[in-house]
Structure formats: structure tokens, C-alpha cells
Structure 1
Amino acid sequence: MTTSPFAAQRQTMVDSQLKTVGVTDAGVLAAFAEIPREAFLPPALAALAQADAAHEVAPGRYLLAPLALALLLQHAGVRAGERVLVVGSASGYSAAVLAQLGATVTALESDAALIAMAEAAGVPSVSGPLTEGWAAGAPYDLILFEGAIAAVTPAIAAQLAPGGRIAAVLRQAGVGRGYAGPLTATGQPAGLPFIEMAAPDLPGFAQPREFAF
């Protein structure tokens, strides 16, 4: 994407927010410096685009805060050429960052207005229920959730490639924790979260009664 008047602010965000809290992956840092986050927000929020906050882009729908997204992508170890599904891609920012990292991205969104925002920013999206994933593009090497979840639905778990992983903020007992790793055969995280992390909930991904992380 072309340079915008916000380029200096993006670089400041990278230097003062990401690098100082453990984001060291050169590709992730370069992608955050390059992709214009302000292009994926309503005009009234453009001036706040680089703030370390989750911004609301539609009622009840948010972009993850830059630091949360950067840490998830770093721990996920995104590699060029991987097939990635973004669940709840909203206005397309995380999908754009993943594409900058060289991934082949499927951006799944259920809100028509958000799909229009994403496409206006140059990110094509597919439309469907978030909880169903997008089987047409499966299997995926990585599935990123754009918001906190309490459980991975069976439909989405089935779309993960052997050896694939998810990247998500897991909501456990009211606390969000970042996780990037594989799932067990029953669709639950196979490892431990790596850090406490705040994120708004992604609608539709509440904890089923029979599951516990």
C-alpha cells in the first residue's frame, strides 16, 4: 500500500508500543509499519488509529489492539505461503497485515457493512456465519480470531490442517489470555496461553457448558 500522512505515527507505534513489549519479529514489525491502520477505521477514528486500543468499527465489533494482534502473529509464527483464515475479519486490517507477511488469506465476515469497508480498503472478504468458518478454503495452516473467544466451534476446528494452529484471545473465567498453537483432537487448545491480554468478545463464541480450557 502507498505511504500515507500517518506513516510517521505508525512507525512511532511500532517503536513505542510493539518493540518495547516484546515484539521482535522483523516481518511483523515491518507489516505494522507499512499497513495503514487508519484506512480500516471510520473517518472519525482515523486520528486514533495507532493508539493501543481495540477500536469499534461496527456495533459490538472491534479491531484488535495493535499490540494484541502483533503478539498473536509473532507467537503464531506466520510463514509466507501459509493458508490463513481470519474469523470475524471486520474491516480487514488483520487480513491486510497477514497478506503483507506473505500469507494467502481468507477474510471471513458476516456483517455486510464491514465487508464493504474491507473491500474499500483493498481487502476482499467472504460472507458467512462466523461460527461456521469457511470450509471452501480449508484446510488452513492458521486460523486467527479477531476478538476474544471462549471456545473454538467444531466446524472451525475441523478446518485446521494437520499441524495447523489457531491464534486467539481465550476468555477463561472472565480473563483474556493470548494463545497461539495447535488444538487437541477434541478442538481444545493443546498448550498454554502465553500472556494475559484484553480484547472485546467475538460474538458467537461463548463457552459451551461441557468444555473447559
Structure 2
Amino acid sequence: MNIEQARFNMIEQQIRPWDVLDQDVLSLLTRVQREAFVPQAHRALAFMDTQVPLPGGQSMLEPKIEARLLQELKVRPSDRVLEIGAGSGYMAALLAAQAQRVTTLEINPELAALARENLRRAGVLNAKVVEADGVGGLPAEAPFDVILLSGSVSAVPQVLLAQLKEGGRLAAIVGQEPVMRAVLITRTGAAAYQREELFDTVAPRLSGFGEPTRFSF
């Protein structure tokens, strides 16, 4: 496989048609080597328009979903970012290339170790993996400019929204199969939030996030 040709085709045939036109994001996708974050057994899927299986029943999202969420979050160099669900570490690497600092929470020990090693090998120095349940976020280090839930939830926990700075953005995939929707929530005041629905998709449920009624937004 010609890796660079496959990467080019991924960007031009999958990602651009999904309205990902931000040149900074597109350039980033050429620099951060997605294949380095894909488990060896599934390396052939690295550039395909499909989810890539990970340990613990989790998956890397489709490249177009990752790129679109990254574009919508509009990460800035001064931003402090919290990711829920480290997966293979790929989204943390993309976020870290744009942000000041990224903390990614992963409840599955095998995935946490995988993400940590992938980020180390990629030379990403401003992202750390914390083995922890992401349901409650990381209040000790809040507030954050950006929060990304790299998987689906039945609804966004209020405890995570409370950890956004005013002006901060949270992206998540919300709902139940077969209908889920990516949303962007911006904190506009002390107790005020603006919600924008982005696109329909389906993603695996984040580990630790069940269907309890305490989740609301």
C-alpha cells in the first residue's frame, strides 16, 4: 500500500466532502500519522471510511468524523483540552497539535497503556493519558476551554458541562442507536449553554457511560 497516496485519498475523498475545509485541520491530517495509532492487526483499515476496532470493544471513529469534530471545536494554541475516551491516542495527538495542553481520560487499562505508548512514540509531549472513569470529568484541573467525548453518550452529563470555561466548547455524539447526533455545546454564561446539532452518525458507547437518568442537557 502506498501510504501517502492512501492518506491523500482519505482526505480528498472522505474528509473534504464532509465539509471539512479548514486548511489547518487538513494540513494536520497529513502530519499526524493515523496509521501509527491503529493496532497492527487492523493497519489495513487506517485510511478507510470505517471504524477501527480497539481493545475493550471500543473503536477509532471514522476519519471524517474525527476531522469534522476537530474542525467544529476550533482549538486554539492557548486552549486546555479534556478528552473523554483516549482510545488509541490519535484524537489526543490531533488536539495536542493545536492546543496548549491535552489531558485524555481512559477507563480501560489496556487502552490507556496503548494510547500512552502511541503518544510517546509519536513524540507528543503536551498530552497526558490518565487512567480514570471519564463520567465525572477532571474537576481538579477544570475549567477547560475544550472538552471532547470521543464516543457516544445517551446525554451529556451536567458535571462535564460545568467544567467548561465561559466560551468553552464541548463536542459529543449523543443518542441511542440507530439515531445519534453529533452536537457542539458552547458555554455562554455561568449557567447558560448554546447547543448546535452538527450531523447524524453512530458511534460506540463510551466505556463507563450507561443510561442513568442523572445525565441531562
- When the two structures are superposed, what TM-score results if normalisation uses the length of structure 2? 0.86
Give the superposition deviation at 1:45.
0.6
2:90 alignment counterpart: 93
1:36 alignment partner, one of 26, 33, 37: 33
The percentage of aligned residue pairs carrying the same residue is 36
SS of equivalent to 1:193: strand
CA distance in 2, matches of 1:188, 1:93: 31
Give structure 2 stretches of 5+ with no counterpart. 121-127
Give the superposition deviation at 1:204.
3.0
Give the superposition deviation at 1:207.
4.3
CA distance in 1, matches of 2:192, 2:213: 14
Structure 1 residues 211 and 101: alpha-carbon distance in aligned structure 2, compared to 1, 3 A threshold: closer
- Matched length: 209
1:198 alignment counterpart: 202
CA distance in 2, matches of 1:52, 1:81: 32
Give the superposition deviation at 1:189.
6.3
2:171 alignment partner, one of 167, 173, 181: 167
Q: How does 1:111-150 map onto structure 2 within 5 Å?
A: 111-122=108-119, 124-150=128-154
- When the two structures are superposed, what TM-score results if normalisation uses the length of structure 1? 0.87
Q: Which has the higher strand share?
A: 2
Give structure 1 stretches of 5+ with no counterpart. none
CA distance in 1, matches of 2:45, 2:191: 37
2:48 alignment counterpart: 51
CA distance in 2, matches of 1:132, 1:189: 19
2:61 alignment counterpart: 64
Structure 1 residues 8 and 100: alpha-carbon distance in aligned structure 2, compared to 1, 3 A threshold: farther
Q: Which runs of 4+ in 1 moved over 6 A?
A: 184-189
CA distance in 2, matches of 1:176, 1:113: 27
CA distance in 2, matches of 1:65, 1:107: 19
1:8 alignment counterpart: 5
Give the superposition deviation at 1:71.
1.0
Structure 1 residues 87 and 54: alpha-carbon distance in aligned structure 2, compared to 1, 3 A threshold: same
CA distance in 2, matches of 1:183, 1:104: 20
1:19 alignment counterpart: 16
2:183 alignment partner, one of 179, 184, 188: 179
- What is the letter of the counterpart of residue 122 of structure 1? L
Residue-by-residue CA offset, 1:131-184 (whole Å, 9 max, x unaligned): 121223211111000101122223322211122111111115741111122258
Give the superposition deviation at 1:209.
3.5
CA distance in 2, matches of 1:95, 1:164: 18
- What is the letter of the counterpart of residue 30 of structure 2? A
- What is the letter of the counterpart of residue 25 of structure 1? D
Structure 1 residues 103 and 19: alpha-carbon distance in aligned structure 2, compared to 1, 3 A threshold: farther
SS of equivalent to 1:145: strand
Residue-by-residue CA offset, 1:29-84 (whole Å, 9 max, x unaligned): 11111111121121011111111112121122111211111111112222222111
RMSD between aligned alpha carbons? 2.4
CA distance in 1, matches of 2:193, 2:207: 19
Alpha carbons 2:153, 2:172 under 8 Å: kept: yes
Give the superposition deviation at 1:23.
0.5
